[in-house]
């Protein structure tokens, strides 16, 4: 059974980069989004699963808040790795 994960922002800020596309396959710990925080730091959003990206809800320049929904990942349950 495949799991579906919600990808959420870790901090308040602005989406500085969307590094993925809808229906794109991504690997564990790959950077999916970059968020520039209110303090000027850049936070990379990753997830410890691989699979297909669905339902991207933000674009570069959009404001986000801690726990804001960014996208979904449909896990393929394959064991993979990414440096």
Domain ranges of the chain: 4-75
Give the integer Cα–Cα distance in Å for 37 and 2: 32
Q: What is the pLDDT of residue 46?
A: 97
Predicted pLDDT at 72: 98
Closest to 70 (Cα-Cα) out of 14, 2, 29, 1: 14
Lookup result for tokens 């969307």: 18
Distances (CA, A) of 36 to 17, 43, 51, 73: 9, 6, 25, 22
- The Cα–Cα gap between 73 and 69 comes to 12
* 71 vs 18: CA distance, rounded Å: 11
Answer yes or no: CATH 2.40.50.100 is held by domain 4-75: yes
Question: For position 77, what pLDDT does the model report?
Answer: 75
Q: What is the pTM of this model?
A: 0.88
Q: What are the per-10-residue average pLDDT scores of the chain (83 residues)?
A: 90 98 95 96 95 97 97 83 53
Measure the CA–CA gap between 7 and 68, rounded to whole angstroms: 8
pLDDT given at position 69: 98
Report the pLDDT value the prediction gives residue 1, as an integer from 0 to 100: 57
């Amino acid at each position: 059974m495949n799991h579906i994960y919600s990808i959420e922002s870790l901090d308040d800020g602005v989406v500085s980069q969307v590094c993925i596309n809808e229906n794109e396959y991504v690997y564990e710990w790959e950077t999916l989004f970059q968020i520039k925080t209110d303090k000027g730091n850049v936070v990379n959003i990753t997830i410890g699963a691989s699979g297909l990206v669905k339902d991207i809800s933000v674009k570069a320049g959009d404001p986000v808040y801690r726990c804001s929904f960014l996208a979904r990942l449909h896990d393929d349950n394959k064991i993979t790795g990414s440096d």
